[in-house]
Amino acid sequence: MIEVNGVSHQFRIGKRGSERIVPVLHQIDMRVGEGEIVTIVGRSGSGKSTLLNLISGYIRPTTGGIRIAGQEVTRLSEGQWADFRLAQFGFVFQSFQLIPSMTAYENVELPLILKGASEKDRRRKTRAMLERVGLESFGTHYPGELSGGQQQRVGIARALIANPPILLADEPTGSLDSDNERSLLELIRELNRDEGKTFLIITHDDQVASIGHRTLTIRDGRLERVPLQATGGGWL
């Protein structure tokens, strides 16, 4: 589902003419198979969030290429990337990133509006998704009226509502207590087991990392090479 081929990335800091180049990632090669849960761990500043932003198309690699579901995405225009991102990815964030002026129902419904779904279709799918994550009684609540665990479940529901094949998560349990973390991790396992969702999860939490079929480590912008045991041989 995800292929990263020889990707390096650097940021330019400062004014033109006196800017400083800061290397972040170095020759990253990795694969994420369909239906896998892959977790990526590394210290703060190691480059793991930059890698996630490259895979999701929010920034472009300095060198190298990326293929998602067989599509070479490195040279897509911004408009093409926006459409591709909506079709292929759901996003789960540490800070939830819900729109505070919209109810839980409206936050979950939003991707369907962006896809041009009919009102009848939106209503049916949104209600079913809120029920799926155990929030059918909280659709009229605003984010500020929900607990952290409930807000994260709204975020999961929004990520899933358009039925994307790939879920990208950046520290998804970072704002949750231990009970809500366990609940969220069980939901991720369930979605992977029952619906075949592919997950790429960035984390510093050993408990989160342990749910991965494989765990990769980034150190100083370099990915450690490990066997592809879960997918039948080869290397990553």
Q: What is the pLDDT of residues 192-202, one digit of tens each?
A: 999 999 999 99
Name beta bridge partners: 170: 93, 202
CB neighbour burial string for 34-43, b if at least 16 within 10 angstroms, e if fewer: ebbbbbbbbe
In words, the CATH class of domain 35-64+76-224 is alpha beta
**Interatomic CA distance for residues 177 and 180, integer angstroms:** 5
Pick from 138, 162, 163: nearest CA to 151: 138
pLDDT, tens digit, 9 for 90 and up, residues 44-93:
888 999 999 999 999 999 999 999 999 999 989 999 999 999 899 999 88
| pLDDT for 235 beyond 90 | no
| Residue-wise pLDDT tens digits, 115-170 | 999 999 999 999 999 998 999 999 999 999 999 889 999 999 999 999 999 999 99
Q: What is the pLDDT of residue 225?
A: 57
Q: What is the pLDDT of residues 162-188, one digit of tens each?
A: 999 999 999 888 888 888 889 889 989
Quote the CA–CA distance of 192 and 198 in Å, as a whole number.
Answer: 7
- Spatial CA neighbour of 105 closest among 140, 54, 156: 140
Domain boundaries, the chain: 35-64+76-224
